Amino acid sequence: MRITRRDTAALAFAALMAGPMRGHAATPGLMVRSDGQPQSLDPHQVFDVPMMGYSLNAYDGLYRYQDNPAVLRPWLAESHTASADGLDWEFKLRAGVKFHDGTALTADDVVYSFRRVLALGKAPASAFLPILKPDSITAPDAQTVRFKLERAYGPFLAAIPIVAIVNAKLVQANVKDGDHGAAWLSSNEAGSGAYAFVAGSLTPAERLDLQRFAGHFMGWADNPSPVERVAMRTARETSTGVLGLMNGSIDWTDSYLPTDQVEQIQSSRAARVEKHSSLRTFIIRMNNARAPFNNANYRRAMAHAFNYDGFITEILKGYADRNTGPMPNPLWGAPKDAAGYSYDLDKARAFVKAAQAEGVNTRQPIRIHIQSQLEQTNQAAQLFQSDLQSIGINLRIVADTWANIVTATAKPETSPDMWIHWVSTYFVDPENWVGQMYDSRFHGTWKASSFYKNPEVDALLGRARDLVRQEERAPLYEQATRKIMEDCADIWVYNTVELRGVSNRLSNYRFCPAGGGAELRWLQLKG
Amino acid sequence: MAGFVLRRMLLVLPSLFGLLVVTFLLIRTIPADPAVALAGDNATPAQIAAIRESYGLDQPLPVQFLRYLRGVARLDFGESQYSGRPVALDIAQRLPATLELTFAALVIAIGLGIPLGVVAAMHHNRWPDFLLRIGSVAGIAVAAFWLAIMLQMLFAMKLGWLPLRGQLSAGLTPPAGPTGFLLTDCLLAGRFDLFLDAARHLVLPAVTLSLGGLATITRFTRAGVLDTLQKDFVTYERAVGFPRGRLIWVYVLRNSVVATVTQIGLLFGGLMAGAVVVESIYDWPGIGSYTVQAILTADSKVMLAVTLLIGLIYAAVNILTDVVHALIDPRLRESR
């Protein structure tokens, strides 16, 4: 038989189209995530939401947050003790923990990990640099680690899960030019977590594979059908991720789904939306150091001019909880009796008049910077703009990027009049919110970009930071928060309900606000 | 010919240097501080200042530029502030994916655009011509992101014929090298299953990317053929009964495609730029999506390296276009 060029072309076309005619055949044991990956694989160089999505699986810490509300549970440590003055801490490690290469995890690895965090001095070090010196972290024996703090630091235990414990011998073997193994660990892994990085599978920001670690110290007896392999693939467009979820080629989206996509997924038989109240607040910042925002009445006018219910009900379709203060409602230290500000344009006009009487020029145009790739910040700004116009305030919207805004927030002169962002859970402690946002010692960081300064609040927050017991710290945070709210330092809008699209192949999803439910060892997979 | 090519290559060097200077200065006008990105969330001003010093970002601009130039001369583009990995390594890993996508789009655009242009010219002012003219205007006007979503909805969601996103199905492991071009590596490794999977993933992004180029090539070919058909030699060949098919597809076409070839050279740059959008929608792991990430995170080393690379590719394609011109039209070769 003679095969013509036309036959060859027809055969090639048929072969190309010979995939599954409907949907996408799932690979047994494989779960595909589309929620991105951290910028570097080194957990001591980066600490943000994508990193937690990776490090909670590839690494272990001394303690770990679990469930919702978040509870701090012993993890690599079996227990800990602290001296009454909060300066001396001792952690007892579990026996028999192995790294992925089979090396035993000992106290030396813990000491090396904390010292490495301090030496690199990047984001995870922020909580520890002011209170820890490298030499004050010691290992008297293979199962014991001691920390001697420079001064008492209330959030110390809460911040402990930030530090992932790395295999000291493996990292030290890959040190180059005194870089603490930073170049090597950016593309490799040295952990003991429930899932191990598959060597050679990394294309940064695109693809990364994890394989279940059968030798994990927690064992797998509680999970009869765990996920065997995890393919982390980045979906840049939310719509692509959602379509993938619906045709079965993706099992897990990010947890910031727009509400229109939620309804689309809910109409699908292949997937569902996991909805969980989180600790992630949505805030409109005001630059308190610059006119007209250096006037409290002007700020109060702004706070009464934002349509909170309209935004939550109409734009977010109710998938958010109104949060009237700077701390997430469910967190300890948040005053439960503080009413906050409501949407009331008459009150807003009255405060504008009061500000004018104090010499404020309320006619000057003000600017709000939005993060252009995050549509919700734009929606909030547009809603705000229309209401402010009705009380005679001219708001201009400036599209910007996170990198630009964060750079600008280093100084009050360059920081925007207003900008919009979320504060995620880096550690579950009021210090993560009011402590770092409103204590003037943090001015120059993006979290403290309202440049709010009140010596009374600084003193309260400082005292709360120096105490160890939650019962003693909570009233101080409550008192500080009431003052911050009275001064109306910012506009506090809502606490997030995290919305993640999950394939119906997956069950036993366990959500925790720290990490946004990204710990995979609990998941059970059908097929 | 060799002298001509060498002269063109030498002329490219000052252009690339100029490109590097302009890009370096432009990037420094962006308010974002690379040290802030490097330090990460929650970093204190003291941490940021320490990082700025350790990376030499506190040095005067000319010092920073000279240091960067020395690196470029050794093909060392520094480390990405985003991934912490050498930029050259990241680019080497991603460039083949973009080139594969761009070449596939170009093949579709040329393979369909030239014949369609000839067909339109042969049916001048009749319905095939009208149809192709309307189609080519639509092809130039339609937004790539809209077309991509429509193709995804039809071929991946409704019909289930083609994959939605990515370069390879998630459960499959790509072969490790040697070229970095996935399709080529699959064939070299004898993995026809992987080759087929990768080819299926390539179809929708390549078709989306090709559409603007396809429309342009169709229009230029049509115009060129119409012009050539008026020439005396065509009238003569027709009069002596020269076979019509051979006359059109060989002689007329050869005399008509000089302008089209120029357009193809320019299109290559356009396709590389268009890949930024297409790669983002289809999650294609090329330098387009890498560049978007770099812009959002103010990753200046990546922005510089990618700009230089695209400039280099653009210059190479233009030299190649001149060579093809000279091969098609011997008069051009002689005049040079």
**Domain with A520 in it: what CATH number?**
3.40.190.10
pLDDT of residue A12 exceeding 80: no
- Out of A129-133, A145-149, A170-174, B308-312, pick the least confident: B308-312
Section A82-91 average pLDDT: 94
Among residues A171, A206, A226, the one where a domain terminates is A171
- Tell me if A525 sits within 8 A of A225, measured CB to CB: yes
pLDDT of residue A13 exceeding 60: no
CB atoms A445 and B45 under 8 Å = yes
Between A27, A205, A446, which is nearest B171 by CB?
A27
On the CB side of A460, CA atoms within 13 Å amount to 21
pLDDT for res B178: 85
What would the pLDDT profile of B134-159 be if each residue is shown by its tens digit? 888 887 778 888 899 999 999 999 89
Same domain for A84 and A199, yes or no, is: no
- Tell me if A165 sits within 8 A of A217, measured CB to CB: no
Same domain for A203 and A317, yes or no, is: no
- Tell me if A57 sits within 8 A of A63, measured CB to CB: no
Rounded to 5°, angle at Cα A182 from A149 and A118: 10
Same domain for B19 and B159, yes or no, is: no
pLDDT for res A301: 97
What would the pLDDT profile of B25-72 be if each residue is shown by its tens digit? 888 777 777 777 777 666 777 778 887 887 788 888 888 888 888 888
Section A209-213 average pLDDT: 96
- Out of A419-423, A448-452, B304-308, pick the least confident: B304-308
Same domain for B40 and B132, yes or no, is: no
Same domain for B28 and B122, yes or no, is: no
CB atoms A39 and B82 under 8 Å = yes
On the CB side of A23, CA atoms within 13 Å amount to 11
Among residues A138, A171, A204, the one where a domain terminates is A171
B219–chain A Cβ distance below 8 A for any pair: no
Same domain for A334 and A422, yes or no, is: yes
Residues of chain A in contact with residue B29, where contact means CB-CB under 8 angstroms, are none
Distance, C-alpha B216 to centroid of its chain:
15
Which comes out higher in pLDDT, residue B37 or B242? Answer: B242
pLDDT for res A254: 87
Listed by number, the residues of chain B in 233-262 with a beta carbon closer than 8 Å to a beta carbon of chain A are none
Among residues B44, B73, B102, the one where a domain terminates is B73
With respect to residue B86, please indicate whether it lies within any of the assigned structural domains: no
Query: How many domains does the structure of chain B reveal?
Result: 2
What would the pLDDT profile of A430-468 be if each residue is shown by its tens digit? 999 999 999 999 898 889 999 999 999 999 999 999 998
CB atoms A17 and B32 under 8 Å = no
With respect to residue B79, please indicate whether it lies within any of the assigned structural domains: no
CB atoms B32 and A403 under 8 Å = yes
B40–chain A Cβ distance below 8 A for any pair: yes
CB atoms B47 and A186 under 8 Å = no
pLDDT for res B105: 93
The CA distance from B269 to the nearest CA of chain A, in Å, is: 23
Listed by number, the residues of chain A in 233-272 with a beta carbon closer than 8 Å to a beta carbon of chain B are 233-237, 239-240, 243-244, 246-247, 249
With respect to residue A185, please indicate whether it lies within any of the assigned structural domains: no
pLDDT for res B332: 62
With respect to residue B78, please indicate whether it lies within any of the assigned structural domains: no
Among residues A110, A139, A171, the one where a domain terminates is A171
- Out of A239-243, A306-310, A378-382, B80-84, pick the least confident: B80-84
What would the pLDDT profile of B72-106 be if each residue is shown by its tens digit? 888 888 888 777 788 888 888 889 999 999 999 99
CB atoms A410 and B85 under 8 Å = no
pLDDT of residue B8 exceeding 80: no
Query: How many domains does the structure of chain A reveal?
Result: 3
pLDDT for res A286: 98
pLDDT for res A2: 54
- Tell me if A196 sits within 8 A of B74, measured CB to CB: no
Same domain for B121 and B6, yes or no, is: no
Listed in sequence order, the residues at least 6 apart from B129 whose beta carbon sits closer than 8 Å to its beta carbon are B120, B121, B123, B222
pLDDT for res A381: 97
With respect to residue B87, please indicate whether it lies within any of the assigned structural domains: no
pLDDT for res A22: 45
Same domain for A412 and A339, yes or no, is: yes
Q: Tell me what percent of the residues of chain A surpass a pLDDT of 90.
A: 73
pLDDT of residue A21 exceeding 50: no
Listed by number, the residues of chain B in 280-309 with a beta carbon closer than 8 Å to a beta carbon of chain A are 280-283, 285, 289-290, 292-293, 295-298
pTM value is: 0.84
Listed in sequence order, the residues at least 6 apart from B85 whose beta carbon sits closer than 8 Å to its beta carbon are A40, A183, A186, A187, A204, B79
What is the spatial distance between Cα B149 and Cα B92, in angstroms, rounded to a whole number?
29
Among residues B73, B103, B119, the one where a domain terminates is B73
With respect to residue A176, please indicate whether it lies within any of the assigned structural domains: no
Given pLDDT bands bounded at 50, 70 and 90, which one contains residue A36?
confident
Same domain for B195 and B141, yes or no, is: yes
Q: Tell me what percent of the residues of chain A surpass a pLDDT of 70.
A: 95
CATH, residue B263: 1.10.3720.10
Range of the domain at B236: 92-335
Same domain for A195 and A328, yes or no, is: no
With respect to residue B80, please indicate whether it lies within any of the assigned structural domains: no
Section A373-385 average pLDDT: 92
Residues in chain A: 527
Range of the domain at A362: 277-497
Helix ranges, A124-237 (H): 156-159, 168-172, 182-185
Same domain for A160 and A258, yes or no, is: no
* Secondary structure in 3-state letters for B218-241: HHHHHHHHHHHHCCHHHHHHHHCC
Which comes out higher in pLDDT, residue A14 or A408? Answer: A408
The CA distance from B163 to the nearest CA of chain A, in Å, is: 8
Same domain for B34 and B118, yes or no, is: no
Chain A and chain B share a number of CB contacts under 8 A equal to 182
Same domain for A293 and A400, yes or no, is: yes
Listed by number, the residues of chain B in 96-155 with a beta carbon closer than 8 Å to a beta carbon of chain A are 149, 152-153
Given pLDDT bands bounded at 50, 70 and 90, which one contains residue A20?
very low
What would the pLDDT profile of A458-506 be if each residue is shown by its tens digit? 999 999 999 988 999 999 999 999 999 999 999 999 999 999 999 999 9
Residues of chain A in contact with residue B115, where contact means CB-CB under 8 angstroms, are none
Same domain for B144 and B274, yes or no, is: yes
Same domain for A364 and A457, yes or no, is: yes
Return the residue in A35, A247, A253, A415 with the most chain B beta carbons within 10 A, the one to mutate for interface testing: A247
DSSP state of A103: P
